[in-house]
Amino acid sequence: MTDDRHFHIRSARPGDAPLILKFIRELASYEKLAHEVTATERNIEINLFGARPTAECIIAEHDGTAVGFALYFHNFSTFLGKPGLYLEDLYVQPEFRGRGYGRKLLAHLAKLALTRGCGRFEWAVLDWNAPAIGFYKKLGANIMADWRINRLSGGALEKLASEASD
């Protein structure tokens, strides 16, 4: 479990882009998706700390050293008529896992979601990631087996966009 004397969560700040990208790459490697990471420090800097931020990030620290992060943004539930909080990435470095840091990051975001009037806190998990699925179930998360994520990117996104009338 966490020793709160050594653990701290802080909001990411300008200048953290290299650290956030490092964590994104470590997570992608764990998920066997490193080849899909095209993010740059500049992308992260603009989208988290620029004039119109599209996402937010918190950093987990142990004795002042960053050991993990959670990157999230708001969505909207038409069924609830309320905003939601969507967790894009959660990552704790392997040597710091099992200490409750992931749970603390999620608890922090759950509290933030309630404070901001969100009706939901959601995220996706890869179907082969049994440790994460088990962890999320212990938190009380409902694994939505009937829902599938749909994604358009690259050429498919561009092709569909080209059909839009201006």
DSSP element (H, E) containing 82: strand 82-92
C-alpha to C-alpha distances, 102 to 81, 99, 147, nearest whole angstrom: 29, 8, 25
Distance of CA 34 to the CA centre of its chain: 16
Q: Determine the 3-state secondary structure of 150 from DSSP.
A: coil
Q: Determine the 3-state secondary structure of 102 from DSSP.
A: helix
Catalytic pick among 72, 91, 101, 136? 136
Q: Which residue from 103, 72, 79, 132 is spatially nearest to 2, judged by alpha carbons?
A: 103
Asked if 136 is an active-site residue, the reply is: yes
Per the structure block, which two tokens stand in for 62?
A: 């142990």
Give the dihedral of Cα atoms 113, 119, 121, 126; nearest 10 deg: -170
List active site positions. 136
